[in-house]
Amino acid sequence: MPIPDTATVANTGTRLDKFALAELVARDIAPGSYVNLGIGQPTLVSNYLLPEQNITLHTENGMLGMGPEAHGEDVDPDLINAGKIPVTELPGAAYFHHADSFAIMRGGHLDVCVLGAFQVSASGDLANWHTGAADAIPAVGGAMDLATGAKDVYVMMSLLTREGVSKLVRECTYPLTGVGCVTRVYTGEAVFLLKEDGVHVRETHGISFEELAAVMDVPLIRDPAGN
């Protein structure tokens, strides 16, 4: 049921940059989860996972047990993630064939994947591989396998386009990557939970619930409990 309009949604008082947002996503991942981090902003999440969370990171180019990004002397040109960013390995890391990596993704063995997006619909449809622009190079890659294979799909994205239009929409206008797959959307302004009864706002950052609702064309439900 929608939360009554008198309910208060937590407001942190400041918009989150991509680093603070990555830390927030990292804290929301359940201990012991197997997780894939998509190209772009989601790769930052690996830098904020805590050892006590016991998270196992999977990368589609064939690795389990990926650690944070590598810098300086830790960089190994043969050790990269799917976005070609140098990464570290954690004790017990394993390497395997690309086909085995996709079997993990398609077989439902990932608890969470974190992806970027061009659009997400209120019903959880994901569009993140092509905008239809004439000069764009469409490349769906493994995103469709992750979107349909992971138990939970979290999206990290900017809330608004350069034109100020919300990317969380009633219906996607770009080609879909997956249907009804997204469960959460993380933006610098708010965290949205996509449920059967609509789009819930768990918390806002540097913007009030009312201000958020004014820039979106999707009905919002206050959900301070974040259930």
Active site residues: 60
Give the alpha-carbon dihedral of 51, 56, 59, 62, to 10 degrees: 120
Helix ranges (H only) for the chain are: 18-28, 98-106, 143-149, 209-214
Output b/e per residue, 140-164; b: 16+ Cβ within 10 A. Answer: eebbbbbbbbbebbbbbbebbeeee
Strands (E), the chain: 10-11, 34-37, 56-59, 63-69, 87-95, 112-115, 119-121, 126-127, 152-156, 168-169, 182-186, 190-195, 198-204, 220-222
Instruction: Quote the tokens at residue 179.
Output: 């249907």
Around Cβ 97, how many Cβ atoms within 10 Å? 9
